[in-house]
Amino acid sequence: MELTLPKSGVVFVRSKNTITKTTSGCGKTSLLSMFAYALGFGPSTKEVLSWDTESMFVELEVLLNSENYTIKRDNETPGLKITGPNIKLQGNAAEDWLRKNVGDPKIAAAATWRCQKTKGNFFSMVPSKKREFLTKLLGLEVFENESTKANSLGEKLASALSSKNAEQKECKINFDRLLASVPEEPDSDALTDLRTALETENRLLDSLNKKQTRINAEIKSIRENNSQQESEINFLIEELDRELLNNHRLLNTAQLVRKSNLEKKCGTCGTVLKEGKNIQVDIDTPNNKIQELTAIKNDLLKDLRSLRDIDIAALNSVNAKIQNSNRQISVLEQRIAREETRIKEYEGSVNKYFTLLEDSEKRLTNIQNDIAQLDANRNREKDFAELIGKDFISEYLNDSLSEISTVANQFLTRIPNASGCSVVFEPIDKGEKRDIGTKIFVGGVERGGDPLSGGQYSSVELACDLALNVVIRSRKLCQLPWMVLDEPFEGMGIPDKEAYIEILSEIGGLFFVVDQSRDFSELFATQGIGIEFDGVSARLVTERNNW
């Protein structure tokens, strides 16, 4: 059956049993439960007493923004399914679509449902339930969770900061050690002195080499000048040698003749047998000649040696100095090479040192930046936790409670049977959690125990429920789609009901009111839902005379 509902106003839900002519047990509450259940605002099927099966499902066809959508919900997985123009959603995706297009069920479910014959959602709750309920309704559990997360993250950041500070301390110690271990710089003057000494020695060597060249040239010139004389002397010596050779032959011959004059030897045994003939020979002449020629030759050899015996002591001295200078130069070059190697090693160690120093300084800077960032993040999380923590939540709850009390009491002043009643909701400090207590005043005097009559109790409950609805709208900046009031006027007279109808109209929005009083609903209803039940099945009727 198609049912057209207004965007705002009071819709009375009536029913009748065509068999027993009664109005109870015909399905009024079940009908509204189905609407709310399908859209995610009401209780689950397990909590609706008139439904005796968990396999029950609800399917609604709704017109939204001029488009038809089918919404089906049951207790099976995925639970919710939505089909419509170009969409086919289920599960979480369908819940997201419903939340976006209809409203947040967490808020609406808490603020829009008041079951029949039970005490109000807020007024009659025990203190701990009030706090839990209002915290959830205002979304403050998000702040509690975020505050807890921020505190936890702050502790982790503090731990990380402590570790980073220890790392910084160690890095600073290493950095200071590195600063104190600068490589020792070699004496640059020593290398300069060595190079100066090498230059001096090279100049000396160059001078010696020039001197050596000069002496060699002088010796060559002398030898060239004496060459002719040496040749002449050598020629004379050769002549003398020939003359000496000839005289030696003559001397040998004379000596042999003289010997033969002295002895005659046996040809067999060599025994001197007899003295030979005395042949006269000249021995003295060749002998004297030899002596004379030998003396002349010795003089010539002496002259020759004199010509060849050039004084090369200066040359030898220069050569010795050259050798010594070369040795000095070699030593200096080796020392310079060692000094240059030491300087290169120093330069390499300095480069490595400055690289290490730069890396250490960068690391120290990075650690300091990390510490600053960690400290800033920790302070931010700490500030954020404090901002939305206990004090903020308590203050927000206090303000909300004060506002709920004020609005409820404004409503009560307009209700005849409860105009002298007022309520005050206030926090009860219990350490980390602050419960919500309720004070009741009658005639301005606080009353304990159970000071209200049945009708007054209903009025106070309803005033608190409506005040809660108003405050949630203003604080959550949302429009609650409807509010279900299942037999809210129990024990109230007509004037009280009339006053509440006016309040409902002023609040705005759509109110489904289940009420058994036919006369009252006919007086004020501009829209209604009728249910006819024949003991087996129920049907909706829209004709006014039938409901």
Choose between 14 and 446: higher pLDDT: 446
| Contact present, 506 and 442 (Cβ < 8 Å) | no
46, pLDDT greater than 50: no
Tell me: do 116 and 167 sit in the same domain. Answer: no
Per-residue pLDDT at 503: 92
Which of 34-48, 73-87, 170-184, 192-206 shows the lowest per-residue confidence on average (mean pLDDT)?
34-48
pLDDT of 359-383, one tens digit each? 888 988 999 999 999 899 888 888 8
Q: Which of 248-252, 308-312, 432-436 has the lowest mean pLDDT?
A: 308-312
Q: Is residue 1 part of a domain?
A: no
Predicted pLDDT at 442: 92
Task: For the chain, give the longest Cα–Cα distance.
Answer: 211
pLDDT of 39 above 70 = yes
Q: Tell me the CATH number at 521.
A: 3.40.50.300
Window from 1-10, 109-118, 287-296, 415-424 with minimum mean pLDDT: 109-118
Give me 235's structure tokens: 């020629």
Residue type, 185: E
- What pLDDT score was predicted for residue 45? 44
Say whether both 48 and 112 belong to one domain. Answer: no
Indicate the burial class of 416 (C-beta count within 10 angstroms; 0-12, 13-18, 19 or more). middle
Q: CB–CB of 499/414 below 8 Å?
A: yes
Specify if 487 maps to a domain: yes
- Residue 50 in this model has a pLDDT that exceeds 60: no
Contact 206, 319 (CB under 8 A): no
Q: Is 492 helix (H, G, I), strand (E, B) or coil?
A: coil
Local confidence band at 114 (pLDDT 50, 70, 90 cut-offs): low
> Domain range holding 512?
9-40+105-138+389-546
Residue scoring higher pLDDT (237 or 309):
237
**Contact between residue 479 and residue 473 where contact means Cβ atoms under 8 Å apart:** yes
Q: Which amino acid is at 401?
A: L
Is 364 inside a domain boundary? yes
Say whether both 501 and 360 belong to one domain. Answer: no
Residues 406 and 328 in one domain: no
pLDDT of residue 273: 47
Question: Residue 294 domain-assigned?
Answer: yes
pLDDT at 394: 79
Same-domain check for residues 395 and 537: yes
Residue 354: per-residue pLDDT:
85
Q: Which of 388, 410, 432 is the last residue of a domain?
A: 388
Residues 291 and 403 placed together within one structural domain of the fold: no
Same domain, 332 and 448: no
Based on the fold, state whether residues 235 and 130 are members of the same structural domain: no
DSSP-based three-state secondary structure for 513:
strand
* Non-local CB neighbours of 441 within 8 Å, separated by 6+ positions: 421, 422, 423, 424, 447
Are 171 and 110 found together in one domain? no
Q: What confidence score (pLDDT) does residue 116 get?
A: 56
pLDDT in tens, 401-447: 999 999 999 999 999 999 999 999 998 876 656 788 899 999 889 88
Mean pLDDT within 113-134: 72
Residue 264, amino acid? K
Note the pLDDT of residue 421.
93
Count: domains in the chain:
3
The answer as to whether 182 is a domain residue is yes
Confidence of residue 203 (pLDDT cuts 50, 70, 90): confident
Asked whether the predicted pLDDT for residue 525 surpasses 70, the reply is no
pTM of the prediction?
A: 0.58
pLDDT confidence band for 499 (50 / 70 / 90): very high
pLDDT above 70 (res 73) = yes
Q: Is the pLDDT assigned to residue 538 strictly greater than 60?
A: yes
Same domain for 178 and 111: no
In a domain, 483, yes or no: yes
Does residue 407 form part of some domain?
Answer: yes
Q: Are residues 246 and 319 in the same domain?
A: yes
Q: For residue 284, what are the contacts with CB-CB under 8 A and spacing of at least 6?
A: none
Q: Which domain-ending residue is among 343, 362, 388?
A: 388
Residues 321 and 405 in one domain: no
Spatial contact of 62 and 71, defined as CB atoms under 8 Å apart? yes
Q: How many percent of the chain have pLDDT more than 90?
A: 10
Give the model's pLDDT for residue 420.
Answer: 92
Question: What's the rounded Cα separation, in Å, for the pair 470 and 476?
Answer: 10
Mean pLDDT of the chain: 79
* Residue 297 maps to a domain: yes
CA–CA dist 533, 23 (Å, integer): 9
Domain end (from 355, 388, 421): 388
Exposure on the CB side of residue 48, measured as CA atoms within 13 A = 26
